[in-house]
Each structure stands twice: as structure tokens, then as C-alpha cells.
Amino acid sequence: MFRTTLNRFNLLTLSFVAALFLMVACRQASGDSRPAATSTPEAMSLVTSVEEMVGVYWGKGSAFQSFDADGNLRVASTREKLVDETVAIGKYWFENGHMHLQQTEGTTCAGSVIGEYEIWRLSNGNLRFDAVADACINRVRSIEGERTGAMPTTVEWAFVSADVPQP
């Protein structure tokens, strides 16, 4: 009984190794030198200054955000409403490579609650926000995306324009 089980195990192991060898050999013969099971992450760079943030961005299905050179941010449902029909107004600044947000007007998180985020610029010019610390869960959800189970649904903020509308 033991010898039969051991022989089956050896046969399965040998079959697996042979199949793996054939897969690698076929891949090399076809001229494909890529590793079989890896993916290349999108190139990103960490945004660390107000100057790098200036612009208008759209969070797909969410809202428009504008960041000006003086550290002011505005949030609205459309780009046109960034001037006079905002849902939130606040300040932003950078410390130690992280963006800090403080909403001064609006219904969500206005006041002393400051959010801290890493901002990543993707190779296509869009932004991704990763919360470092923020007690305002509604802001985290609207900026970073909803969490489904343990995995976040990341919102990519599309670059719209370098021209920031002024009130």
C-alpha cells in the first residue's frame, strides 16, 4: 500500500516536472522571453509638491476637484460648478511627501479633520490617491474609492486641465 502510494506520488511529480519543462521549452522556442505569470505594473511617480498638483481632475463617476497654486481645493459635480456651486472647499499642502487636506466648507468633514494621502501620478497623467490617515471615512471613500471586502476599488482621477477656474 505504502509503496503504491509512493509510486503514484513519484509518477505525478515526474509528470508535473515534464509538463513544466515542455511549457518553458515551447515558450523559448517561440521567441517569447517574458516570464509566464508576471504583469508589469503601471509606471507611477509620487507627487510631493503643490506645484505638481495644480490642475482639474475628474474622479470617474464621482466629482471634479481643482487644486490651485495657492493650496486651495474645490470639489463640484461638474467642472463648470467649480467656480460657484461647490460641494466642498478647502486647503491642501504637502509635508514629508504626503498631501494634507482640510475641508473648510461643505457638508462632509468640514473643520479640523485633516486627511493625509500619498498622491501617485500615473504614466497617463492621471492621479491615484492612497489614504495614509484620515478620520473622515466619507472623504476616503469619495477620493480613494469604495472597499469591497479587503480590496479597494481604486478611483483614478483623470487629468482634465491645467487651467484652474477661479471664483
CATH number of the domain to which 143 belongs: 2.40.128
Residue 140 lies in a domain: yes
Both 87 and 129 in one domain: the answer is yes
- What letter would DSSP give residue 36? T
Residue 95 lies in a domain: yes
Residue 116: strand pairing partners? 100, 133
Both 58 and 3 in one domain: the answer is no
- pLDDT of 165 reads 85
Both 68 and 100 in one domain: the answer is yes
Both 5 and 75 in one domain: the answer is no
Q: Give me the DSSP letters along 64-97.
A: EEEE-TTSEEEEESSSGGGTT--SEEEEEEEETT
Residue 127: which domain range?
A: 44-161
Alpha-carbon distance of 114 to 136, in angstroms, equals: 8
Its pTM stands at 0.69
- pLDDT of 18 reads 39
- What letter would DSSP give residue 37? T
Residue 167 lies in a domain: no
**Structural domains of the chain, count:** 2
Q: How confident is the model at residue 148 (pLDDT cuts 50, 70, 90)?
A: low
Both 98 and 157 in one domain: the answer is yes
Residue 18 lies in a domain: yes
Both 105 and 26 in one domain: the answer is no
Residues 16-46: tens digit of each pLDDT: 433 333 343 444 444 443 333 333 456 889 9
